[in-house]
Amino acid sequence: GQNIDQPTEMTATEGAIVQINCTYQTSGFNGLFWYQQHAGEAPTFLSYNVLDGLEEKGRFSSFLSRSKGYSYLLLKELQMKDSASYLCAVRDRSGGNNRKLIWGLGTSLAVNP
């Protein structure tokens, strides 16, 4: 079946580095997305991986291992505004909708001063 797991909550300190893990099971993997969602707001796109390896975008990096069904989002130099929920989503081309995203429940990150 299709499944995505990520930790429910994490806490980190301002200025530190935090890694948010995501493991997935899907039969038609076609890319993995990370989104950021502040409370009560819309998810916004952070990063995309489809090949194994690390993608870096400023303070944010995302890693993918397709053989392990594993990804992580790395946030460096944490700021208070990074307190949000981080959603892992896998695009799955099996089934009738090859644009469909399978969503994790999100990891709520609290950044403390």
Partner 1 sequence: EAQVTQNPRYLITVTGKKLTVTCSQNMNHEYMSWYRQDPGLGLRQIYYSMNVEVTDKGDVPEGYKVSRKEKRNFPLILESPSPNQTSLYFCASSLGSGTGAADTQYFGPGTRLTVL
Question: Which residues of this chain interact with partner 1, rule CB under 8 A?
Answer: 30-31, 33, 40-45, 48, 50, 87, 91, 93, 96-101, 103-106
Q: How far is CA 63 from the centre of its chain?
A: 9
Nearer to partner 1, 78 or 104 (CB): 104
Phi, psi for 76 (deg, rounded to 5): -105, 160
Spatial contact of 6 and 107, defined as CB atoms under 8 Å apart: yes
Cα–Cα dist 57/46, whole Å: 9
Rounded least distance, CB 41 to partner 1, Å: 7
Nearer to partner 1, 34 or 72 (CB): 34
Rounded least distance, CB 45 to partner 1, Å: 5
Rounded least distance, CB 113 to partner 1, Å: 27
Question: Closest Cα partner for 113 from 15, 14, 11?
Answer: 14
Rounded least distance, CB 15 to partner 1, Å: 29
Nearer to partner 1, 29 or 78 (CB): 29
Read off the tokens for 94: 């099996």
Residue position matching structure tokens 């493991």 = 23
